[in-house]
Chain A
Amino acid sequence: MSKLISYAFCIVVTALVFYAFSPRHDGQGAELDMDLARIQFNDLVHFDGRMVAVGERGTIMVSDDDGDSWQQTYGDQQLPVTLTGITWLGGDLLLAVGHDQLILRSTDGGDSWDVIMNDEEAGEPLMGTWSADGKEVFAYGSFGRFFHSTDAGQSWTSVELDIHGEHLNDLAGDGKRMQLLVGEMGLVLRSTDGGDQWQAVEPFYRGSLFGVAHLKDASWVAYGMRGHVFVSHDDGINWSQIQLPHQLPLYGHAADANGVVIVGTGGAYVNLTGDGELRNIGFMRGMGTLTSAVVLPNREFFVAGQFGLQQRDRDLLAHTGR
């Protein structure tokens, strides 16, 4: 009995000491950290209560609660190609485009994606797609790339535009009536036949234009390098510059019935009325370079860019709304 007690004590002590000095595991799982503020996003779209963001290395994030939580539906495990644009074609149909002339298509609102086109040899990006009716779609991008689809993005044919291989950065349209395509070195193309024929507008700016938006009626806005914003009131034939007090480049915009908010480097934003009048400008501090924005149904303003998706500004909406 006494033997038992003394040796049992020694054994218990030994066991506890072994436990104390056994390798300490930090309990780390195999999950990789993912910080949405550290991923660059290049485009946002909002439809039917759902928001979809696309960006770096094929990352596609989906949110059904206006950006409070996000689920990843595509990423670099599938295809490590950076995405540059996303378009909603109506219903559950979505198109995303990116580098390597990549086109992805989703028929379930962004939950799953199919590769429609991917040309690694080209290695150069498409910048976006546009459609008036969800059936006939145009894709545009670097070095004058222009594609046409008549089956809602399932098959594509290349179209040669009569330009000198400039990058095509953005396309906007007023339904079937009128389309504008902007790009490198002040390029602006007009189409009045639903995208079949394109005519170049008399150059009014040497720098690159990164975006274009329809305001209302015959009013349009185009923006680009070094704080350049131009407004046209005659369907893109004549343009006049809106003077900004800074020279920060502008890369994306969100539009609603009240007008448009253009965003860019340094969190800069420019707010125009539907008539193309400057309403206000400002900076969203600490947001880095912004590439895109959407207006949510509750009139909130959501932005994405270099510092990811963590950013929203409820106050700015109030500005937009007024």
Chain B
Amino acid sequence: MTRHVRLLDRWVEGFADLLMNHRKLILGFFMLLTLGLGYSATQIRLDPGFNKQIPASHPYMENYLHYSETFSGANTILVSVNWLGEGDIYNPEFLEVLRQVTDEVFFIPGVRRASVRSLFTPDVRYVEISEDGFVGDVVIPPQFSGTPEDLEQVRSNAARSGEIGRLVANDLTAAIVNAELQEFNPDTGERVSYAEIARQLEAIRSKYENENIEINIVGFSKLVGDVIDGLVEVMGFFVIAFIITTLLLWAYSRSLVQTVVALLVALVPVVWLLGILPLIGMGIDPMSILVPFLIFSIGVSHAVQMSNAWKQELFNGLEPREAAKVACCKIFIPGALALVTNALGFGVIMLIDIPIVRELGISACIGGLLMIFTNKMMLPIILSWLTLDRRAWAAHEARNGGKHQLWWRLSVLATPGPALVVFAISLVLLVAGSWKSRELIVGDVGVGAPELRQSARYNQDNLRITQKYSIGLDVLSIYMETDVTEACLDPDVMRAVEELDFHARSIKGVNSTQSVAGMGKVSIAGNNEGNPRWAAIPGSSRGLMAGSRAYSASNGLVVDGCQTMQMLLFLNDHDGDTIAHVIDQVEHIIANIDEPKLRFMLAGGNVGVMAASNEAVQQAEAQMHGSLLLAVALFCWVTFRSGRAVLCILIPLAIVATLCSAVMAMFGIGLKVATLPVMALGVGVGVDYGIYLYERMQHELKVGKSLRMAFYEAMCQRGTAALFTAVTMSVGVGTWIFAPLKFQADMGILLAFMFLVNVFGAIFLLPGLAAWFQRSKPLVRVRPAVRSPLQGAGQN
């Protein structure tokens, strides 16, 4: 161990010399790089996309991607026109607005034209069974002119069209324009801009809303648009966090120089990161908008450690350049280790097989690695030219001499007795935490778009639409495939489809179902005088022929020949538990269906995507935590060469990760694509504190100090800065709780918790563990004869 450490120290020292000797050249290079990347950063663009949320290798999604070309996708927008005036929608003013809105939606670029449906589109027809057989036509007659007779005609046609609850609200006070979006614009071949579509939808809203008309719009693209709008405010919160950090940093350091340098150096990797992303062809997703801020936070944390070490060397009487070099030597190993571990932690996020999360992992990983250059190379060079302000000297002198009271008292935790108390408290917390964390929900919690708050316009609109109509945006599609030609006339196939439809309809959380069997039954009954007793799948193809109207591809449930079919399940909501239950039941129903002619394949629709990403997230959760802790363990072991050191750092981390799950369960934050990375980021950031403290303790132990003294020294030299940064960051991200975007607020709660509790774990639990390990066998072999090479370095 000794030889290894010496070698590493010597290497670091040589590196620090190199830095200081070529400081102008290196700094110049860094400045040029910053300028170049700064220019590139101006090219960054927001890059949201529905398909980026899809865990493409999940079997559900392989089916979904395969069949979404056949059947319309999950990317639907609903524009509901609400009549607020007297009576119902059958009046000239409303119908005129509905017609115009239909037209406007039709002409939005990126909308699949054929998919647009409303009372005014020609594919919406009514059918009535009369004494003379079928009577059917378009709902709004071509010669419609708004006369009372026309209106009565439309009212009765609409009632017979079967669209009440779908295109027309159940209470007849609203009607919907339904459209689907394409991922790529077929004219230009470019990716459809959701923000642009959202803007156009918003324009429709402002154009037609008046005292009688209210327009509700939901759909993924609108959601993205609203989230992007919210991001402007997010930037505001970043600014607030920045200001809080600045003020606290100044209050702590009493040094303008230290404050400015720390902030500046923390901003540089953010600029680099934003510059690199466009170069490697990546944009920034609304979901990963917090990464730059996170990089900034970590940057501040490390910059404070470095500049603090530098300050201490100045107080020890060194010149700035020497002080910078010594600080670099002292901080490089734990700092670089912490950053590599951070980067690794972020890299582990890429285990989650969802593009949007991978992007987050990549950008956070790059950001983490960049900080090794800015914090461990650029910062000492800058510090070597600086001198400390008088105020900081004054503050130092005022405190000079004597022990730091608080840290000395705290260091009692590094003795076995008090450590037992900490153990007991930790265990109590952990037991409560693991019990509570079992209630953690995978997926979304509550109704509406989880990205936004309940009170957001989008969620209000969504609520309105789910209340007024029998359908909504939460759709699960199940695909079916058969080799039988004209499968809709095959009773075995149709009865198998019916079986799924029949049982799926009963599942709790399912609002309604649509399948070719269901439509066939209605159609067969329709062909037999409309008698509901005929609504059944008969055992012969002859009987099935009566339902032929239902087997048309225009209903979107089968493609010609019925060899490929889909069934739609409209869910009440997309709560994680609801989805899990529905999927579980559907799989159970399918397992019961004994029909070799028909193959069932899960699952599409937005619920299918959510089910897959929930499963991916759930699978990744344990995997992610496992690999994260394993990686941290490995790195710590390589550096400290002690299994017990690894435990000292790892045990508090593991406890905090568990408590974080419990906090999520408590605050009703679901484990999902947006929150799982935060847990990884939190662990990644949390490991810093432990590494810095333990590294310092190891040095102090090596020169023969008692464990309590070693911990006390570590707290004085590193702990203050660690605690300070933790508090600062927590306060900074804590303000996000007031953010307009719910996912940002959730992330704020989680990050604040992780920042703060991790530092508590490091300063309360780590010394206790060390104390007990030390008691059985010294953690570090004492080398009293030789002075630490680091201290030697300071005297060169």
B654 and A6 form a contact (CB under 8 A): no
Task: Return the chain A residue nearest B661 by Cβ.
Answer: A20
Pick the interface stretch among B139-147, B397-405, B505-513.
B505-513
Contact (A24, B438) CB under 8 Å given A9-B423, A40-B532: yes
- As a 0/1 sequence over residues 495 to 508 of chain B, the CB contacts with chain A under 8 angstroms (1 = contact) are 10011001101111
B539 and A123 form a contact (CB under 8 A): yes
A81 and B536 form a contact (CB under 8 A): yes
Contact (A2, B416) CB under 8 Å given A26-B584, A38-B506, A84-B533: yes
B506 and A39 form a contact (CB under 8 A): yes
A30 vs B592: C-alpha distance when bound (angstroms): 11
Contact (A76, B531) CB under 8 Å given A2-B416, A6-B776, A33-B507: no
B530 and A28 form a contact (CB under 8 A): no
Residues of B within 8 A of A33 (CB): 503, 506-508, 585
Q: Is there a chain B Cβ closer than 8 Å to A322's Cβ?
A: no
Q: Is there a chain B Cβ closer than 8 Å to A80's Cβ?
A: yes
Chain B: minimal CB distance from A201 (Å): 17
Chain B: minimal CB distance from A206 (Å): 4
A13 vs B542: C-alpha distance when bound (angstroms): 68
Residues of B within 8 A of A14 (CB): 654
Chain B: minimal CB distance from A272 (Å): 21
Chain B: minimal CB distance from A106 (Å): 20
A6 and B536 form a contact (CB under 8 A): no
Contact (A21, B625) CB under 8 Å given A9-B423, A120-B539, A226-B131: yes
Contact (A17, B506) CB under 8 Å given A81-B539, A208-B529: no
A56 and B532 form a contact (CB under 8 A): no
Q: Is there a chain A Cβ closer than 8 Å to B775's Cβ?
A: yes
Q: Which residues of B in the span 755-796 have a Cβ within 8 Å of any Cβ on A?
A: 769, 772-773, 775-777
Contact (A17, B581) CB under 8 Å given A9-B769, A125-B534, A206-B131: no
A33 vs B580: C-alpha distance when bound (angstroms): 14
B531 and A208 form a contact (CB under 8 A): yes
Contact (A16, B430) CB under 8 Å given A39-B506, A225-B529: yes
Contact (A34, B498) CB under 8 Å given A2-B772, A225-B529, A291-B532: no
A81 vs B537: C-alpha distance when bound (angstroms): 8
Task: Return the chain A residue nearest B505 by Cβ.
Answer: A38
Task: Return the chain A residue nearest B653 by Cβ.
Answer: A17
Residues of A within 8 A of B431 (CB): 16
A184 and B621 form a contact (CB under 8 A): no
Q: Is there a chain A Cβ closer than 8 Å to B130's Cβ?
A: yes
A26 and B580 form a contact (CB under 8 A): yes
B539 and A249 form a contact (CB under 8 A): no
Residues of A within 8 A of B438 (CB): 20, 24
A12 vs B431: C-alpha distance when bound (angstroms): 10
A65 vs B58: C-alpha distance when bound (angstroms): 49
A184 and B433 form a contact (CB under 8 A): no
Residues of A within 8 A of B658 (CB): 16-17, 20-21
B498 and A57 form a contact (CB under 8 A): yes
B540 and A251 form a contact (CB under 8 A): no
B506 and A123 form a contact (CB under 8 A): no
Chain A: minimal CB distance from B731 (Å): 28
A22 vs B619: C-alpha distance when bound (angstroms): 10
A10 vs B657: C-alpha distance when bound (angstroms): 15
A28 and B584 form a contact (CB under 8 A): yes
Residues of B within 8 A of A81 (CB): 536, 539
A35 and B491 form a contact (CB under 8 A): no
Residues of A within 8 A of B420 (CB): 5
B621 and A21 form a contact (CB under 8 A): yes
B528 and A142 form a contact (CB under 8 A): yes
Q: Is there a chain B Cβ closer than 8 Å to A48's Cβ?
A: no
Chain B: minimal CB distance from A1 (Å): 8
Task: Return the chain A residue nearest B430 by Cβ.
Answer: A16
Residues of B within 8 A of A125 (CB): 533-534, 536, 538
B532 and A13 form a contact (CB under 8 A): no
Contact (A225, B530) CB under 8 Å given A5-B772, A57-B499, A76-B502: yes
Q: Is there a chain A Cβ closer than 8 Å to B651's Cβ?
A: yes
A30 and B580 form a contact (CB under 8 A): no
A120 and B647 form a contact (CB under 8 A): no
B581 and A26 form a contact (CB under 8 A): yes
Task: Say which size band chain B's interface belongs to.
Answer: 35 or more
Q: Is there a chain A Cβ closer than 8 Å to B62's Cβ?
A: no
Q: Which residues of B in the span 630-665 have a Cβ within 8 Å of any Cβ on A?
A: 647, 651, 654-655, 657-658, 661-662
A124 and B530 form a contact (CB under 8 A): no
Q: Is there a chain B Cβ closer than 8 Å to A232's Cβ?
A: no
- A17, A28, A40, A99: the one contacting B539 at CB < 8 Å is A99
A85 vs B440: C-alpha distance when bound (angstroms): 49
Residues of B within 8 A of A226 (CB): 130-131
Task: Say which size band chain A's interface belongs to.
Answer: 35 or more
Q: Is there a chain B Cβ closer than 8 Å to A262's Cβ?
A: no
Residues of B within 8 A of A225 (CB): 129-131, 529-530
A289 and B661 form a contact (CB under 8 A): no
B533 and A42 form a contact (CB under 8 A): yes
Q: Is there a chain A Cβ closer than 8 Å to B421's Cβ?
A: no
A151 vs B426: C-alpha distance when bound (angstroms): 80
- B434, B507, B588: the one contacting A19 at CB < 8 Å is B434
Task: Return the chain A residue nearest B440 by Cβ.
Answer: A24
A249 vs B529: C-alpha distance when bound (angstroms): 10
Chain A: minimal CB distance from B216 (Å): 24
- As a 0/1 sequence over residues 176 to 216 of chain A, the CB contacts with chain B under 8 angstroms (1 = contact) are 00000000100000000000000000000111101000000
Chain A: minimal CB distance from B215 (Å): 28
Q: Is there a chain A Cβ closer than 8 Å to B750's Cβ?
A: no
Task: Return the chain B residue nearest A305 by Cβ.
Answer: B532
Residues of A within 8 A of B772 (CB): 2, 5-6, 9
Residues of A within 8 A of B5 (CB): none
Q: Is there a chain A Cβ closer than 8 Å to B319's Cβ?
A: no
- A16, A19, A28, A32: the one contacting B506 at CB < 8 Å is A32
Q: Is there a chain B Cβ closer than 8 Å to A273's Cβ?
A: no
A165 vs B206: C-alpha distance when bound (angstroms): 61
A30 vs B584: C-alpha distance when bound (angstroms): 9
Q: Which residues of A in the span 77-114 have a Cβ within 8 Å of any Cβ on B?
A: 80-82, 84-85, 98-100
A99 vs B536: C-alpha distance when bound (angstroms): 8
B434 and A20 form a contact (CB under 8 A): yes
Residues of B within 8 A of A257 (CB): none
Residues of B within 8 A of A99 (CB): 536, 538-539, 543
B773 and A120 form a contact (CB under 8 A): no
Contact (A184, B430) CB under 8 Å given A120-B491, A124-B538, A225-B130: no
A225 vs B528: C-alpha distance when bound (angstroms): 12
Q: Is there a chain A Cβ closer than 8 Å to B437's Cβ?
A: yes
Task: Return the chain B residue nearest A80 by Cβ.
Answer: B495
A251 vs B426: C-alpha distance when bound (angstroms): 69
Task: Return the chain A residue nearest B650 by Cβ.
Answer: A10
Chain B: minimal CB distance from A61 (Å): 13
Residues on B facing A (Cβ under 8 Å): 129-132, 416, 420, 423, 426-427, 430-431, 433-434, 437-438, 440, 442, 491, 495, 498-499, 502-503, 505-508, 528-544, 577, 580-581, 584-585, 588-589, 592, 618, 621-622, 625, 647, 651, 654-655, 657-658, 661-662, 769, 772-773, 775-777
Excluding A20-B661, A23-B618, A205-B131, 16 further A-B contacts by CB distance (< 8 Å) are A6-B773, A10-B647, A13-B654, A19-B434, A20-B437, A26-B577, A28-B581, A35-B506, A38-B505, A57-B498, A82-B537, A99-B536, A122-B540, A123-B491, A207-B131, A207-B529
Residues on A facing B (Cβ under 8 Å): 2-3, 5-6, 9-10, 12-14, 16-17, 19-24, 26, 28, 30, 32-35, 38-40, 42, 56-57, 76, 80-82, 84-85, 98-100, 120-125, 127, 142, 167, 169, 184, 205-208, 210, 225-226, 249, 251, 289, 291, 305-306
Interchain Cβ contacts under 8 Å between A and B, 25 examples: A2-B776, A13-B655, A16-B427, A17-B655, A20-B434, A21-B621, A21-B625, A24-B440, A26-B584, A30-B588, A32-B585, A32-B588, A33-B503, A39-B505, A57-B502, A80-B499, A82-B537, A100-B540, A123-B538, A124-B538, A125-B533, A167-B531, A207-B529, A249-B530, A251-B531
Nearest first, the 3 closest Cβ-Cβ pairs linking A and B are A123-B540, A82-B536, A120-B539
